[in-house]
């Protein structure tokens, strides 16, 4: 069952399209891209032991996540609140509101910031190799 779940989750996370019959449910594509939100082409990945992780991340009002990068392809959906994603190299920003989806940057230092009075909550799907780090925090200098 665990392998079947991983395979199904990887299939969904990597953007395969499918539809249910109209009387069962409907499907809305939230993100479908071969580039990250900043326009950078996604890097080719080879998965020997595929592993998918789905995280719900809560960001308190008026708080900033640590500077970090992701060595794996990932995509997120902002469930509630507002979030600003900032690329460190040039300060480019992505302003998100509840209902927005993004394909995240790979191997680019960035951080998320909640400048609002309400908590933000984002669900992120990461696809990598089993046991591989999904987030690397930048060491403070």
The whole-number mean pLDDT for each consecutive block of 10 residues of the chain, a chain of 141 residues, reads: 42 47 78 92 90 97 97 97 97 97 95 97 96 93 62
Q: What's residue 21's pLDDT?
A: 53
Rounded-to-integer distance, Cα 62 and Cα 120, Å: 10
Q: What is the pTM of this model?
A: 0.79
Which tokens is 135 given?
């987030």
Q: What's residue 125's pLDDT?
A: 97
Q: What's residue 9's pLDDT?
A: 43
Q: 98 CB contacts (<8 Å, ≥6 apart)?
A: 78, 79, 80, 81, 82
Q: Domains in the chain and their CATH numbers?
A: 2-137 (2.60.120.10)
Q: What's residue 23's pLDDT?
A: 66
Q: Which residue has the tokens 């890097």?
A: 43
108-118 core/surface letters (b: 16 or more CB in 10 A; e: else) = bebbbbbeeee
Total Cβ atoms within 10 A of residue 94: 18
């Amino acid at each position: 069952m665990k392998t079947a779940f991983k395979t199904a989750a990887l299939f969904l996370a990597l953007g395969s399209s499918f539809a249910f019959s109209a009387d069962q449910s409907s499907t809305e594509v939230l993100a479908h891209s071969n580039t990250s939100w900043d326009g950078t082409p996604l890097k080719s990945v080879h998965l020997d032991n595929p592993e998918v992780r789905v995280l719900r991340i809560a960001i308190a009002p008026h708080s900033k996540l640590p500077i970090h990068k992701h060595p794996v392809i990932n995509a997120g959906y902002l469930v509630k609140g507002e979030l600003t994603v900032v690329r460190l190299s040039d300060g480019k920003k992505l302003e998100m509101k509840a209902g927005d989806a993004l394909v995240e940057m790979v191997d680019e230092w960035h951080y998320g910031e909640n400048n609002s009075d309400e908590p933000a909550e984002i669900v992120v799907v990461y696809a990598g190799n089993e046991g591989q780090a999904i987030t690397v925090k930048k060491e403070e200098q």
